Amino acid sequence: MKIENIPQHSLAFFDEDGGGGARYERPWLLADIGGTNARFGLQTAAGRIDAIWVAECAAYPTLGAAIVQYLSQPATVAAGGYQARQAGIAIANPIDGDAVRMTNHHWSFSIEAICSQFSLTSLHVVNDFAALARAVPFLSAQHRVQVGGGEARERGVIGLVGAGTGLGVSGLVPAGKEWIALDSEGGHSTFAAVSEREIHILQRASERYGHVSAERLVSGPGIRLIYEVLAERAGAAPQAIQGIDTPAIIERGLRGECLVCVETLETFCEMLGTIAGNVAITLGARGGIYIGGGIVPRLGGFLARSGFRARFEHKGRLSGYISQIPTYVITAEYPALIGMSVILAELA
């Protein structure tokens, strides 16, 4: 089902300085491009993003075509979209130079060519989780839910992990009064199995793919892969295994209608706990670990009831250390657009 043409609306967020120097006259064109969905917005004033629009990436042959469609939307036109000369794109991809080719989608583009096509004087493209990290200090308490114990240390390093079409990883490091977001492709680090069940899943995935990254299993497609292995192990018929997709696995698991689906979600949450714990220890994230992406918020209370937090704290001699680090699920809508706005404000 397409998600485009959803009601266009605005969001407001706290913005201490808002940027807005002479070189950065608003509106600013903002985008958050994932492997499945593209989210667009116009920042028309400090702390305000208007004309938010979401579309399926697969519905458009190129990023340029999606931007054209966004700029033609009535709310975008009314907000002055064609006047935008500064833009920022957060994208699920490493950024190195002018050419950008997405890892989990077929879009590829030249930053310079996009600037030329839309008469932009500047276009800043960053990793989507680096943008998400920059949004964290601007999220209020109502835009996050804590899972488990622990207490964040003020100005402590913050870690981020998020599962969607892929697996995003980033960190936020305090530097005086500022924050530095880390560009990371940590989701492609090698997956580490903990339980016998995970070892079995890893073996089957390795047979199919060779190298098995964390993203291969802790993601939307990963949920489907976990289900296939567990269903096969349970003796399900091949035709039954092929007849279910990730959204259905999640829905049936949450409703308790399918034991293998429940086991799949439990396995996913435990794997996510291991990865989040690894990020916490690697970064020394005493400011907390934030869970973003599109999948976990859909799980609701299931994550808290699962083995996620126990697995997060399962770090042997450092279990006492990591048990003091809180974990939060980000519930805010479009946080990467906020982060992209913060980045542009700092450049103004």
Assess contact for 179 and 172: CB atoms under 8 A.
yes
- Please name which of 64, 11, 73, 75 lies closest in space to residue 33, comparing C-alpha atoms: 64
195, 252, 343 from 214: Cα distances, Å: 15, 24, 28
Question: What CA–CA distance (Å, rounded) separates 180 from 268?
Answer: 30
At a CB cut-off of 8 Å and minimum separation 6, what does 7 contact?
A: none
Which residues, in sequence order, are bridge partners of residue 172? 158, 181
At a CB cut-off of 8 Å and minimum separation 6, what does 13 contact?
A: 47, 49, 138, 338, 341
H-run or E-run covering 169: strand 167-175
Question: What CA–CA distance (Å, rounded) separates 55 from 218?
Answer: 24
Is 34 marked within a binding site?
A: yes
CA atoms within a 13 Å half-sphere pointing along the CA-CB vector of 77: 5
CA atoms within a 13 Å half-sphere pointing along the CA-CB vector of 253: 28
Is 234 marked within a binding site?
A: no
Is 288 marked within a binding site?
A: no
Is 31 marked within a binding site?
A: yes
Which of helix, strand or coil describes residue 108?
strand
Show the CA angle centred on residue 180, arms to residues 177 and 185, nearest 5°: 165
14, 26, 120, 189, 217 from 95: Cα distances, Å: 28, 25, 19, 18, 24
Is 275 marked within a binding site?
A: no
As annotated, the binding site for ATP includes 31-36
As annotated, the binding site includes 31-36
